Amino acid sequence: MRRGEVWTYDPVLGTPGRSRRRLGERVHVASTEEMDAVDAALRAAQDL
């Protein structure tokens, strides 16, 4: 995942994900800060 890459937003989980775009799904471009937060969250989840 690189800065500027488009991620879809999962309204159920409330987290960005790589799922295919569905009709009406909001899409945003991830910023560096968001990517750092996502990376940290993924690492924390893997440690559990």
- Residues near 21 by Cβ (< 8 Å), separated by ≥ 6? 8, 27
Element containing residue 8 per DSSP (H, E): strand 6-10
pLDDT by residue, tens only, the chain of 48 residues = 555 556 555 566 655 555 555 555 565 556 677 778 888 888 888 886
Answer yes or no: are the C-beta atoms of 7 and 16 closer than 8 Å. Answer: yes
Q: In this structure, is residue 1 part of a structural domain?
A: no
pTM for this structure?
0.34
> Does 29 reside within a domain?
yes
- Give me the number of domains the chain comprises: 1
The whole domain housing 39 covers 6-47
* Residue 10 φ/ψ, nearest 5 degrees: -90, 110
Report if residue 21 sits inside a domain.
Answer: yes
Sequential DSSP letters for 9-39: EETTTTEEE-PPP-TT--EEEPPHHHHHHHH
